[in-house]
Structure 1
Amino acid sequence: MGIASITPGLLTTRAEMDQLFGGGNQGGILPSTKTPNILIYVDHDSGKEYGYEDGWLAEEDEFGPIFEYTGQGTSGDQTFLGTKGSRNAAVLYHAETGRSLRVFVAEGKVPGSSSSAKQQRYIGEFALDPNLPYTVREAHGKDQVQRRIIVFRLRPKGAFERLPKDAVTRAETTTADRVLATVAEPRMDEPKRVATKRKLVSESRRAAQPSVIAEHRQSDLRDAYLKELTGQGHEVFAFQIKIAGTTTTLTTDLYDATTNELYSVRGESSREEVRAAVGQLKDYVRHLRPRPPKLVTLLPEKPQDDLANLLHTEGIDLVFRDGSDYMRSAAK
């Protein structure tokens, strides 16, 4: 069986794919040292055991469908670093290393086999979404302790199979669950590891998205302000929102429970970023119960007066950094 015969919908086994591509047959992410491929195995049953669900999102954008896949690691925070995070890093940097992501879904036991080995259904070749390669969420681990998980966003390349049973389940009701404030930190530890590779990814991003510099400033500002608030004794966390009838999961920026304030943290004080903050806050606040929070935008420096007025007109307070201090301009 040659690579040309591997088409979406093919039923095969891990052993056969190991012979064809290499990579071994144990684990969910298997980078091959024989061929330029990374094999990704999805098992819907085992995912639910750890509080997550992999599969196709119901929502598409102008660039097509998205398949979500949760990274390696069954307990503790998932990472891109060290031995524990090496397979997650392999997926993150697959394009830079010239590897294809080939995704398989478990499909019942192998016919006639006395072992527990499952058939694997090939659904296609994928690549990470160049705009948003992954998101970070909170879920319980093997030990039932809440931890941060990496959720990769995969885009199909060429032919693919998309069956209803491989879709993420739509939420029955809208929920807003409290999660650690650090879940709002999207970059985790990967840019500290390979900044130059991150730059390569950034060069392919759409012009409408914030730059990598802005993303770093956003992360640094969030971290610093979180430290500021907790240093004052405030209770700070974030919300993970699932919206009824969709497969969408949203994660807010900082929420100060002590003052009942919801923050949108932006990496630039530009018009584009201020507009984004307004939309984000207005979207999120609809789903928070029972007491609607005060809305606040946190910026790295003072914006133009017109942009401060835009926030105030929408009833949103402005907080901006001034040297080592934080200045507040309240909406009237």
Structure 2
Amino acid sequence: MGIPSITPGLLTTRAEMDRLFGGGSQAGIIPSTTTPNILIYVDHDSGKQYGYEDGWLAEEDELGPIFEYTGQGTSGDQTFLGRKGSRNAAVLYHAVTKKSLHVFMAEGKVANPKSSAKQQRYIGEFALDPKQPYTVREAKDENRNRRRIIVFRLRPKGEFELLSKDAITRAEKTAAQQVLAAVATPKVPEPNLVSPKRKRTSESRRAAQPSLTAELRQSELREGYLMRLIEEGHEVAAYQIRIAGTTTLLTTDLYDATEHELYSVRGESSREEVRTAIGQLKDYVRHIDPANPKLVTLLPEKPQDDLLNLLHTEGIDLVYQNEGEYTRIPSR
């Protein structure tokens, strides 16, 4: 069920949407209590207080434009778990629960001197990007502490309004920032958190969620190796890289500051994944400060000899799992 009687560009209020759909008028993510809809409210001024900005990316891909929206939670790590993360989970699994996502942008004050409420401009209906439904980044919380935030990647469905004033600000210069290693190793939520048990596996797989075997394996491999490095006394981080003139924000895998090594972690040892690892490392290493880290690929098992030769030709070390341990083959 869509939202009746409103079209992109319409000016409304939270109170009016509450009367129409229920769910309340507070918070950024409001699951309706009476219809299969989730209302998402964006406020540029509010987001900037916490070091993030929601809106359209300047860059489009073959699937069209992308709208980024930061999840709920102003203190501590944002999560999909428990009461604190329930609204983020509602967005993540909206396809499983058959709920539509509708986005509104704050647009000045209502024409009432006795009210401090803001007008809300309807942007349109959205769905999560099926390939990458969200990314995890570092930002400051309301107490200025470093924490992980969830940034949803939304794709418009049907009619939508794309205005330049709703776009995320382009970076003035390229800059790489060291961030928490936990940004590179987000916990992958389990589908059964909100997915009804009666749903068939085929239905769950159609939902936009990072539940494919390779992605789970990649996450587990990255987190396991991070724990190993920390146990050995290494200082480990990741990098967020802003690219000049764009709204692109790249996030690396692990960076071992103790050994000055930059890792690409892949969930399979196939040719496609090895090529992806090489491309990522060659892309990211240009921007890392301090410069010239050793490049390393972490794989779940040893690849075929030709792929090992490919990595070594590019000066990239290989680390792979071997019966619960990690084996390293240096490039030189």
Give, in angstroms, the shift of residue 325 of structure 1: 1.8
Q: 2:325 maps to which residue?
A: 325
Contact 2:171 2:243 in 1 (8 A): yes
With over 3 angstroms needed to count, the CA separation of the structure-2 counterparts of 1:211 and 1:31, relative to structure 1, is closer
Contact 1:170 1:246 in 2 (8 A): yes
Contact 2:93 2:207 in 1 (8 A): no
With over 3 angstroms needed to count, the CA separation of the structure-2 counterparts of 1:109 and 1:151, relative to structure 1, is same
Q: 2:40 maps to which residue?
A: 40
Q: 2:294 maps to which residue?
A: 294
Q: 1:107 maps to which residue?
A: 107
Determine what percentage of the aligned residue pairs are the same residue. Answer: 73
1:20 counterpart letter in structure 2: L
With over 3 angstroms needed to count, the CA separation of the structure-2 counterparts of 1:199 and 1:280, relative to structure 1, is farther
Structure 1 position 57 matched with structure 2 position 57: yes
Give, in angstroms, the shift of residue 189 of structure 1: 3.6
Runs (4+) of structure 1 moved beyond 4 Å?
A: 194-201
Give, in angstroms, the shift of residue 331 of structure 1: 1.1
Contact 2:105 2:120 in 1 (8 A): yes
Give, in angstroms, the shift of residue 201 of structure 1: 5.2
With over 3 angstroms needed to count, the CA separation of the structure-2 counterparts of 1:72 and 1:244, relative to structure 1, is same
Q: Distance in 2 between matches of 1:74 and 1:158?
A: 32
Q: Distance in 1 between matches of 2:311 and 2:254?
A: 18
Q: Distance in 1 between matches of 2:287 and 2:98?
A: 42
Q: Distance in 1 between matches of 2:109 and 2:90?
A: 29
Q: 2:160 maps to which residue?
A: 160
2:176 counterpart letter in structure 1: A
Q: 2:12 maps to which residue?
A: 12
Contact 2:191 2:211 in 1 (8 A): no
Q: Distance in 1 between matches of 2:35 and 2:65?
A: 27
1:82 counterpart letter in structure 2: G
Give, in angstroms, the shift of residue 190 of structure 1: 4.3
With over 3 angstroms needed to count, the CA separation of the structure-2 counterparts of 1:203 and 1:20, relative to structure 1, is closer
Q: Which runs of 5+ in 1 are unaligned?
A: none
Contact 1:130 1:201 in 2 (8 A): no
Q: Distance in 2 between matches of 1:123 and 1:203?
A: 25
Q: 1:218 maps to which residue?
A: 218
Q: How does 1:1-332 map to 2 (within 5 A)?
A: 3-190=3-190, 193=193, 200=203, 202-203=205-206, 212-332=212-332
2:312 counterpart letter in structure 1: H
2:48 counterpart letter in structure 1: K
Q: Distance in 2 between matches of 1:80 and 1:233?
A: 30
CA shift digits 1:128-156 (9 cap, x unpaired)? 11111111001001111011001001000
**TM-score relative to the length of structure 1:** 0.94
CA shift digits 1:169-204 (9 cap, x unpaired)? 001111111111110124444458468889745446
Contact 1:80 1:190 in 2 (8 A): no
Q: Distance in 2 between matches of 1:169 and 1:221?
A: 34
Cα root mean square deviation, aligned: 1.9
Q: Distance in 2 between matches of 1:211 and 1:273?
A: 17
Contact 1:302 1:320 in 2 (8 A): yes
Q: Secondary structure at the match of 2:250?
A: strand
With over 3 angstroms needed to count, the CA separation of the structure-2 counterparts of 1:297 and 1:199, relative to structure 1, is farther
CA shift digits 1:87-118 (9 cap, x unpaired)? 11111111111111111000000013412100
Contact 2:301 2:322 in 1 (8 A): yes
With over 3 angstroms needed to count, the CA separation of the structure-2 counterparts of 1:216 and 1:140, relative to structure 1, is same
Q: Distance in 2 between matches of 1:310 and 1:212?
A: 27
With over 3 angstroms needed to count, the CA separation of the structure-2 counterparts of 1:155 and 1:201, relative to structure 1, is farther
Single out whichever of 16-25 and 61-70 deviates more from structure 2: 16-25
Single out whichever of 177-186 and 57-66 deviates more from structure 2: 177-186
Q: Which runs of 5+ in 2 are unaligned?
A: none
Q: Distance in 1 between matches of 2:268 and 2:4?
A: 47
Contact 2:171 2:246 in 1 (8 A): yes
Q: Distance in 2 between matches of 1:278 and 1:192?
A: 35
Give, in angstroms, the shift of residue 224 of structure 1: 1.2
Q: Distance in 2 between matches of 1:220 and 1:281?
A: 20
CA shift digits 1:291-320 (9 cap, x unpaired)? 210100011111100000000111111111
Contact 1:241 1:251 in 2 (8 A): yes
With over 3 angstroms needed to count, the CA separation of the structure-2 counterparts of 1:20 and 1:203, relative to structure 1, is closer
